[in-house]
């Protein structure tokens, strides 16, 4: 019996194949596999976002990268409010950003990570607290700490449900009021790294933690490695949290430290970033963390990366589209979303 091959049917010019119209059925032992699952995931996940920032004034650039590859960032769109030193977190679909240095806004912006486009309004934080950090579980986003120059710090922790628009609710308080912290999380536990106080002026190596599904005050987790500093950033997978770079005037550091979420204890040395800078940001998937170091003292574009399960110095990844610092970061495969 001869074989009828549909993939060899073309029009007269050979430029296209057959069009299928009407009610169509298919039988066989192999063939098409129809896509399944939420449409937001079908392009593949693992995208990192760098939102807004400071290039001498508010910069509204949004960049994105594919974390599993290497290469320069690409333009995503424009931030609604790109004020630097904002808190950020993300679900598997959306990234969320709030706070800042110049306007001290309590607005929460959001984007859809799998697409490209501009930021939109999501809701408001209950307290306008400026320079913040954030993290998330699969369902809940958390923003923490903050401060307003010249002499006010806050210990506020707020939370919201990421699947529905609206304002934050009170969660509890940090062990110490401070700003310029770093935040990362596992699916169950969120950490707040380091920070500084305005009055009295001091840098702190505190690590606080909360259980994201509950409410209540933070508890002591351990300490960062000395010297104390501020302006570092955190990221990680569901097992390890990384805290990278920090500043203790007049010195910038390129250190990377890590903790294991499930335990408590002091941070351990991981390695060093490629470039030195403060007020950067990090994104992650299940195995890799990308680290953008930003200001030393001029703004830079460098992005480097590490494999989270190992120890060692970072390797060059690529560059941001615009040199700036203080950007918010979010990925649709961060540690709070699980494996």
CA pair distance 89, 336, nearest whole angstrom: 9
Each domain of the chain, given as residue ranges in start order, spans: 45-337
Confidence at residue 41, expressed as pLDDT on a 0 to 100 scale: 46
Answer for the pair 192, 134: CB distance below 8 angstroms, yes or no.
Answer: no
168 membership: H or E segment, kind and range = none
| Rg over CA atoms, the chain | 22
- The label of the residue with tokens 């401070």 reads 178
Confidence at residue 316, expressed as pLDDT on a 0 to 100 scale: 98
- 119: nearest Cα among 64, 199, 172, 186: 64
Give CA angle at 231 (198, 219), nearest 5°: 75
For domain 45-337, give the CATH number: 2.120.10.80
Confidence at residue 42, expressed as pLDDT on a 0 to 100 scale: 44
158 membership: H or E segment, kind and range = strand 152-161
CA pair distance 325, 281, nearest whole angstrom: 9
pLDDT in tens, the chain (339 residues): 555 455 556 665 555 566 555 554 545 555 544 545 454 444 468 999 999 999 999 999 999 999 999 999 999 999 998 888 889 999 999 999 998 888 777 899 999 999 999 999 999 998 766 789 999 999 999 999 887 767 788 899 999 999 999 999 999 999 999 999 999 999 999 999 999 998 888 999 999 999 999 999 999 999 999 778 888 999 999 999 999 998 888 888 999 999 999 999 999 999 999 999 899 999 999 999 999 999 988 999 999 999 999 999 999 999 999 999 999 999 999 999 996
CA pair distance 94, 250, nearest whole angstrom: 37
CA pair distance 42, 224, nearest whole angstrom: 39
Confidence at residue 43, expressed as pLDDT on a 0 to 100 scale: 46
- The dihedrals phi and psi of 131, each to the nearest 5 degrees, come to -70, 110
Confidence at residue 44, expressed as pLDDT on a 0 to 100 scale: 61
Confidence at residue 92, expressed as pLDDT on a 0 to 100 scale: 97
The separation between the first and the last C-alpha atoms of the chain, rounded to the nearest angstrom, is 50
Confidence at residue 99, expressed as pLDDT on a 0 to 100 scale: 83
């Amino acid at each position: 019996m001869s074989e009828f091959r549909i993939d060899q049917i073309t029009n007269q010019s050979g430029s296209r194949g057959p069009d299928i119209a009407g009610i169509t059925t298919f039988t066989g032992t192999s063939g098409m596999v129809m896509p399944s699952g939420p449409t937001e995931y079908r392009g593949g996940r693992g995208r990192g976002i760098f939102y807004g920032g400071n290039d001498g004034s508010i910069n509204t650039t949004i960049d994105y990268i594919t974390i599993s590859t290497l290469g320069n960032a690409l333009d995503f769109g424009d931030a609604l409010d790109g004020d630097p030193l904002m808190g950020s977190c993300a679900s598997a679909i959306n990234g969320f950003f709030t706070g800042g240095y110049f306007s001290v806004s309590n607005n929460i912006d959001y984007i859809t990570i799998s697409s490209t486009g501009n930021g939109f309004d999501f809701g408001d934080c209950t307290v306008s607290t400026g320079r913040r950090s954030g993290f998330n579980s699969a369902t809940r986003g958390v923003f923490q700490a903050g401060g307003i120059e010249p002499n006010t710090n806050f210990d506020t922790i707020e939370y919201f449900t990421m699947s529905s628009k609206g304002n934050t609710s009170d969660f509890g308080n940090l062990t110490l009021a401070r700003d310029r912290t770093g935040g990362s999380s596992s699916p169950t536990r969120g950490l707040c790294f380091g920070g500084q106080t305005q009055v009295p002026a001091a840098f702190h190596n505190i690590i606080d933690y909360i259980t994201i599904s509950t409410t209540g005050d933070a508890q002591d987790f351990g300490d960062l490695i000395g010297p104390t500093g501020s302006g570092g950033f955190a990221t990680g997978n569901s097992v390890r949290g990384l805290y990278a770079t920090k500043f203790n005037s007049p010195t910038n550091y390129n250190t990377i430290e890590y903790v294991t979420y499930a335990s408590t204890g002091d941070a351990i040395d991981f390695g060093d970033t490629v470039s030195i800078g403060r007020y950067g940001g990090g994104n992650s998937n299940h195995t890799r963390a990308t680290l953008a170091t930003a200001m030393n003292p001029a703004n830079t574009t460098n992005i480097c990366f590490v494999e989270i399960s190992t120890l060692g110095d970072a390797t060059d990844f690529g560059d941001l589209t615009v040199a700036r610092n203080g950007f918010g970061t979010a990925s649709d495969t961060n540690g709070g979303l699980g494996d």
